Chain A
């Protein structure tokens, strides 16, 4: 995940001064807060599917790419503006999630291994498709809002503030949805016991479809954001996918709270690594954390929370 890219984008971005490059504590805090919120959005989608369906969706990164390019087409190619692009990106990625579930996953639901392989191959196919159609050149999605404010010695792009606010709004909305609505409770019930849920009249097919759609929409949203303050390119989904593994395993599988906490730990770790130590360690550190967690505490920090909530 290119935080260094983020800095570059900030420098080269629409009229933004090169302030993000200033290192310092406030800079680390601001960037950490924003990027972590985005990671949380990606990871929650991933963990919902694992928690409810019991399968790992390795095409989650592909949903990010799909969302970003959906937004790119609507905003840049059709010239309909950034906000229309955002809506389009989310819808396209949600439709991609629904299509994946209906065409493939539904028939393989009891075969997590085949799901993992099929989604991995799907992810590769999507990457290769984008590479063929769009080439390897990165594309820029226009920023949602322009302008910069100076906060605690750091220049802050308004675009990033929007990213932060929308991400948190989504996280809170999901948390409320899962815990306080009937549909959300059906989701938890299915994740606890499919048989039990079926006995009280919950159709697991519909719940699963809903999780895939929600996860797709979340990934699409993240894709649009990533594309708007960095760039959209064919392999953009890979790094967030790997980060999702780490976040989800660290936070505990199937737990929204765990994903948010995990995302903030990993996000800040990444920002500190790249800013204070060596940017080249960026991809290595989360992987090492993942391996350590798997070896020392595989159930994660908040394991089974979803099942007990």
Chain B
């Protein structure tokens, strides 16, 4: 029942006592990654942006101010992706309109600053509070609605908000959005390194908090809800409480990311940046491609998804059939690439990488095939799928499912019973399966 990253961890240590003493390799990799991000602006800080060796070879390793700001923007998007992962990746309540929370935070903070002159440091907590309230508004219906119906609510929520913004465009600026509010701490374009470090610090803090929450017992309950809500209720825990908590936490973090973002030079309170369907799609793709239900995967996915179009923008290659330069069709390319990746590795990049790395390691150590013959693990996506299927079948009134449920619960569902037997088998076998 524990969260699957922890499960992997346990499995790795179990199967390879040699690594039991030191940190698992993937933690080291993560820490190295964070350290690299931490020193990224140092060359530009020192003014050393390139070194010329032997007078011929020039190595550029610094980032320009513009690039630093882009990476800072990517940090905020990664925070947003992590917030999606808390509620969707862990509890399985897929949100198709997470931009709702991003925009609530961003717009509240910006409006307070622009209209009433509230300082950003005071306006941001207000934005977080309003976003959290939005989490309650979406989270409470989520207690009644399941599967696709909940997704419809989340899909529609940002559209309602956008319609309200357009209806009262005098206050909310309509489709064009508001003008830029004050920068946080008065740090503007002139100091990209500071902008970068503020974003980085917030990113690390949120990463730490969300990792702590999802690895705590509450996180275990979130995962359990994703796997089987009825079982959670049967265990005497109130799923409603935990689902609402997940929604509010996710909304607050998303709102925080949005609220701080509008006070940086990279972000503005505009629907296209905070509320558009594109934003909500991108965050889903980011979290799923990174690895749903891992937080770290969502963070990595968020960084990549934000920076990929920025990179595509710089490519000057002209696509032959469309006769358009890559920079003009970046979102089209992004959608196509995402489609392909979703097809190739639905479990996400992080899981795929971990699996490959683990296979390599176990090969090198001369370990044989997993005890269960390498049964494919159930990814969070598959678990959510199962929840959905039963929700859909209940809605459509498909007979067998209802009968099964009423006679002897989930036990008689052949598939699940098989799964369970397989689990029992591999627990005994002490395998390397992620579960």
A residues neighboring B (CB under 8 Å): 50-51, 54, 56, 104, 110-114, 116-118, 120-122, 124-125, 128-129, 132-133, 191-193, 195-196, 242, 245, 249, 253-254, 280-281, 283-284, 287-288, 290-291, 294-295, 298-299, 303-304, 306-308
Contacts and interface: CB of A to CB of B under 8 A. Distances in A.
Given A121-B335, A124-B335, A295 B144 contact: yes
A290 B152 contact: yes
B349 to A, nearest CB: 16
Contact of B342 (A117, A129, A254, A290): A117
B37 to A, nearest CB: 28
B384 A125 contact: no
B217 interface: no
A132 B156 contact: no
B148 A242 contact: no
B148 A132 contact: no
A110 B385 contact: yes
Interface of B: 94, 96, 141, 144-145, 147-149, 151-153, 155-156, 159-160, 163-164, 166-167, 277-278, 281, 284-285, 288, 322, 324, 328-329, 331-332, 335-336, 338-339, 342-343, 346, 381-382, 384-385, 388-389, 392-393, 395-400
Nearest to B92: A113
A219 B362 CA distance: 52
13 contacts: A111-B382, A113-B94, A113-B388, A116-B96, A121-B285, A121-B338, A193-B398, A245-B156, A254-B396, A287-B160, A295-B141, A298-B145, A298-B149
B384 A291 contact: no
B281 A128 contact: no
A294 B149 contact: yes
Contacts of A117: 284-285, 288, 342
Given A54-B389, A120-B96, A133-B322, A111 B381 contact: yes
A247 B398 CA distance: 22
A120 B284 CA distance: 11
Nearest to A128: B332
Given A116-B96, A124-B278, A245-B152, 14 more contacts: A54-B393, A56-B151, A112-B148, A113-B388, A114-B381, A120-B96, A121-B342, A125-B332, A129-B332, A193-B399, A245-B155, A284-B163, A294-B145, A306-B396
Contacts of A298: 144-145, 149
B385 A113 contact: yes
